[in-house]
Homo-oligomer: A and B are copies of this chain.
Amino acid sequence: CCLAQKPGNVSSPNIIIMLMDDMGWGDLGAFGQPSKETPNLDAMAAQGMLLLNFYTANPLCSPSRAALLTGRLPVRNGFYTTNGHARNAYTPQEIVGGISKDEILLPRMLKKRGYFNKIVGKWHLGHRPQYLPLEHGFDEWFGAPNCHFGPYNNSVRPNIPVYRNSRMLGRYHEEFKIDKKTGESNLTQMYLLEGLDFIQRQAEAQKPFFLYWTPDATHAPAYASKYFLGKSQRGRYGDAVMELDYSVGKILSLLRHLGIDNNTFVFFTSDNGAALMSGPSESGSNGPFLCGKETTFEGGMREPAIAWWPGHIREGTVSFQLANVMDLFTTSLALAGMSPPDDRTIDGMDLTPVLLHNTVLDRPIFYYRGNELMAVRLGQYKAHYWTWSNSWEELKKGINFCPGQEVPHVTTHEQKEHTMEPLIFHLGRDPGEKYPISVLAKEYQDVLSWISPVVEKHRSTLVAGIPQLNMCDVAVMNWAPAGCEMLGKCLKVPSSQPSKCDWPH
Q: Which residues of A come within 8 Å of B, CB atoms?
A: 26, 29, 31-36, 50, 52-53, 232-235, 237-238, 279-281, 285, 287-288, 290, 318, 320, 380, 403-407, 410, 426-435
In the bound complex, do residue A280 and residue B34 qualify as a contact, i.e. CB atoms below 8 Å apart? no
Which residues from B are CB-within-8-Å of A429?
234-235, 237-238, 280-281
Residue of B nearest to A434 (CB): B404
8 Å CB contact of A32 from B31, B403, B428: B31
Which residues from B are CB-within-8-Å of A406?
404-406
Contacts A34-B288, A287-B288, A405-B406 given; 19 further ones with Cβ under 8 A? A26-B32, A29-B318, A31-B32, A32-B32, A34-B53, A34-B287, A34-B431, A35-B52, A35-B428, A36-B52, A233-B380, A233-B428, A279-B435, A280-B426, A288-B288, A290-B404, A403-B434, A404-B406, A404-B432
Could you list some 12 contacts between A and B, CB below 8 A?
A34-B288, A35-B52, A234-B429, A235-B426, A235-B428, A280-B429, A280-B435, A285-B431, A288-B288, A403-B407, A403-B434, A405-B406
8 Å CB contact of A405 from B52, B233, B405, B431: B405
Shortest CB-to-CB span from A475 to chain B, Å, is 40
Residue of B nearest to A31 (CB): B32
Residue of B nearest to A406 (CB): B406
Residue of B nearest to A279 (CB): B435
Shortest CB-to-CB span from A218 to chain B, Å, is 14
Majority secondary structure of chain A interface residues (helix, strand, loop or mixed): loop
Which residues from B are CB-within-8-Å of A31?
32
Considering the complex of A and B, which 3 residue pairs feature the smallest CB-CB distances, nearest first? A32-B32, A233-B428, A404-B434
In the bound complex, do residue A404 and residue B407 qualify as a contact, i.e. CB atoms below 8 Å apart? yes
Which residues from B are CB-within-8-Å of A279?
435
In the bound complex, do residue A287 and residue B32 qualify as a contact, i.e. CB atoms below 8 Å apart? yes
Shortest CB-to-CB span from A157 to chain B, Å, is 30
Number of copies: 2
In the bound complex, do residue A430 and residue B26 qualify as a contact, i.e. CB atoms below 8 Å apart? no
Shortest CB-to-CB span from A367 to chain B, Å, is 17
Which residues from B are CB-within-8-Å of A232?
428
Which residues from B are CB-within-8-Å of A280?
426, 429-430, 434-435
Which residues from B are CB-within-8-Å of A52?
34-36
How far is it, in angstroms, between the C-alpha of A430 and the C-alpha of B32 when the chains are bound? 14
A238-B429, A380-B233, A407-B404 given; A33·B32 CB < 8 A: yes
Residue of B nearest to A26 (CB): B288
Which residues from B are CB-within-8-Å of A237?
429
Shortest CB-to-CB span from A89 to chain B, Å, is 28
How far is it, in angstroms, between the C-alpha of A32 and the C-alpha of B285 when the chains are bound? 12
How far is it, in angstroms, between the C-alpha of A288 and the C-alpha of B32 when the chains are bound? 8
Which residues from B are CB-within-8-Å of A427?
34
How far is it, in angstroms, between the C-alpha of A287 and the C-alpha of B429 when the chains are bound? 13
How far is it, in angstroms, between the C-alpha of A102 and the C-alpha of B55 when the chains are bound? 57
Residue of B nearest to A24 (CB): B288
How far is it, in angstroms, between the C-alpha of A329 and the C-alpha of B429 when the chains are bound? 35
Residue of B nearest to A30 (CB): B32
Residue of B nearest to A433 (CB): B404
8 Å CB contact of A233 from B36, B238, B288, B320: B320
How far is it, in angstroms, between the C-alpha of A404 and the C-alpha of B299 when the chains are bound? 14
Shortest CB-to-CB span from A43 to chain B, Å, is 10
Shortest CB-to-CB span from A495 to chain B, Å, is 44
How far is it, in angstroms, between the C-alpha of A407 and the C-alpha of B400 when the chains are bound? 12
Q: Which of A238, A318, A433 has the most CB of B within 10 A?
A: A318
How far is it, in angstroms, between the C-alpha of A403 and the C-alpha of B407 when the chains are bound? 8
How far is it, in angstroms, between the C-alpha of A36 and the C-alpha of B31 when the chains are bound? 10
Residue of B nearest to A379 (CB): B233
How far is it, in angstroms, between the C-alpha of A235 and the C-alpha of B430 when the chains are bound? 9
Residue of B nearest to A35 (CB): B428
Shortest CB-to-CB span from A379 to chain B, Å, is 10
Which residues from B are CB-within-8-Å of A53?
34
How far is it, in angstroms, between the C-alpha of A407 and the C-alpha of B435 when the chains are bound? 19
Shortest CB-to-CB span from A261 to chain B, Å, is 22
Which residues from B are CB-within-8-Å of A233?
320, 380, 428
Which residues from B are CB-within-8-Å of A432?
404
How far is it, in angstroms, between the C-alpha of A155 and the C-alpha of B237 when the chains are bound? 60
Shortest CB-to-CB span from A99 to chain B, Å, is 33
A233-B380, A404-B434, A428-B238 given; A285·B285 CB < 8 A: no
How far is it, in angstroms, between the C-alpha of A52 and the C-alpha of B233 when the chains are bound? 13
Residue of B nearest to A281 (CB): B429
Which residues from B are CB-within-8-Å of A320?
35, 233
How far is it, in angstroms, between the C-alpha of A318 and the C-alpha of B290 when the chains are bound? 28
How far is it, in angstroms, between the C-alpha of A31 and the C-alpha of B405 when the chains are bound? 21
Q: Which of A50, A53, A232, A405 has the most CB of B within 10 A?
A: A405
How far is it, in angstroms, between the C-alpha of A432 and the C-alpha of B32 when the chains are bound? 13
